[in-house]
């Protein structure tokens, strides 16, 4: 192919320029605006009891949502791949994919309609002394809902690729189901699970829309880190908003690094290039 060095540099400049304007510049702005007034206000923001309680709540939500969805995800992927139902696989697939296609606000609304005071289950739950919406359980539920698909979607293709040969050998050698799963299947899919866990953690840390709807935003009680960013900004505490943002951005960068560590191992066939955007791999 005849390629002119001129057009090549032009393409490169346009592509990198676009990425700089849309991606890199806003990202570096977080760092700049956080430290613009020195370290004092940053330290103040990080030791603010509201920040600490938001951090705790986020960690609780992540700490529950990630293990729950990991176990559910692996079990669901095993069921879908190893014992596929005769009918309705497409329905299960679309249901699992639903949280990715839904607006987070709609997810929050759905939870309110079911668990809210006037919701289908909410009245009964409130009478029995459980408050879901506007308290921690609602936030945890919303987080679980939006992060549901990631582990399933990462593990399904890996399970397919691994095949059943080794599992069958283990069975014929007399291993029980549990033993086969623990010693043969699990080691084979571990990188897929790890990648799914990274994606789940990232989304759980960063979820805003669904949580904003169900939290009720009681400062110090039902505020997660992402809600804290918003609240501090609206209270004109810009440094606090940017500092919290920087903490979240730092976690996002850690996620990126982890993604790049695990990705090549799960997607062997295309080396270091993802087949689809994260979290959108077809089941």
105 touching another protein, by CB under 8 A = yes
In angstroms, what is the minimal distance from the CB of 53 to another protein?
18
Termini Cα distance of the chain:
37
6 touching another protein, by CB under 8 A = no
Q: 149 and 204 in contact (C-beta within 8 Å)?
A: no
Helices of type H across 20-164: 25-35, 39-47, 49-82, 89-101, 104-115, 122-127, 136-147, 149-162
177-216 residues in contact with another protein (CB under 8 A) are 202, 205-209, 212-213
One character per residue 18-57, x = contact with another protein (rule: CB under 8 A): xx--xxxxxx-xx--x------------------------
Rank residues 158 and 184 by Cβ distance to another protein and give the closer one: 158
How crowded is residue 251: how many other Cβ atoms within 10 Å of its Cβ?
17
Rule CB under 8 A: choose which of 97, 138, 149, 192 binds another protein.
97
Residue 280, helix vs strand vs coil: coil
Where do we find the tokens 């079911």?
114
126 touching another protein, by CB under 8 A = no
173 touching another protein, by CB under 8 A = no
How crowded is residue 82: how many other Cβ atoms within 10 Å of its Cβ?
13
In angstroms, what is the minimal distance from the CB of 64 to another protein?
18
Looking at 14-22, 65-73, 134-142, 186-194, which segment touches another protein (CB under 8 A)? 14-22
**Residue count, binding to another protein (CB under 8 A):** 73
Looking at 46-54, 74-82, 162-170, 247-255, which segment touches another protein (CB under 8 A)? 247-255
Interhelix angle 238-266/39-47, rounded to 10 degrees, is 80
């Amino acid at each position: 192919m005849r390629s002119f060095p001129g057009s090549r540099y032009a393409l490169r400049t346009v592509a990198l320029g676009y990425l700089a304007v849309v991606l890199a510049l806003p990202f570096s702005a977080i760092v700049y605006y956080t430290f613009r007034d020195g370290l004092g206000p940053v330290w103040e923001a990080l030791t603010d009891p509201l920040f600490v309680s938001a951090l705790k709540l986020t960690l609780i939500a992540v700490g529950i949502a990630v293990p729950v969805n990991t176990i559910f995800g692996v079990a669901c992927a095993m069921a879908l791949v190893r014992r596929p139902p005769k009918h309705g696989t497409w329905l299960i697939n679309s249901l699992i994919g639903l949280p990715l296609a839904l607006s987070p606000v709609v997810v929050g609304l759905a939870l309110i309609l079911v668990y809210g005071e006037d919701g289908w289950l909410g009245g009964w739950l409130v009478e029995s002394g459980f408050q879901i919406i506007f308290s921690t359980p609602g936030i945890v539920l919303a987080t679980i809902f939006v992060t549901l698909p990631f582990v399933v979607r990462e593990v399904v293709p890996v399970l397919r690729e691994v095949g059943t040969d080794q599992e069958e050998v283990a069975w014929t050698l007399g291993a029980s189901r549990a033993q086969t799963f623990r010693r043969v299947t699990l080691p084979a899919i571990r990188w897929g699970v790890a990648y799914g866990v990274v994606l789940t953690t990232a989304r759980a840390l960063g979820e805003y829309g669904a949580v904003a709807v169900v939290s009720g935003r009681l400062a110090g009680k039902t505020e997660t880190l992402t809600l804290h960013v918003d609240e501090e900004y609206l209270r004109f505490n810009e440094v606090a908003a940017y500092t919290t943002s920087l903490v979240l951005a730092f976690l996002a960068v850690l996620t990126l690094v982890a993604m790049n560590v695990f990705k090549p191992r799960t997607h062997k066939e295309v080396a270091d290039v993802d087949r689809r955007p994260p979290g959108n791999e077809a089941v």
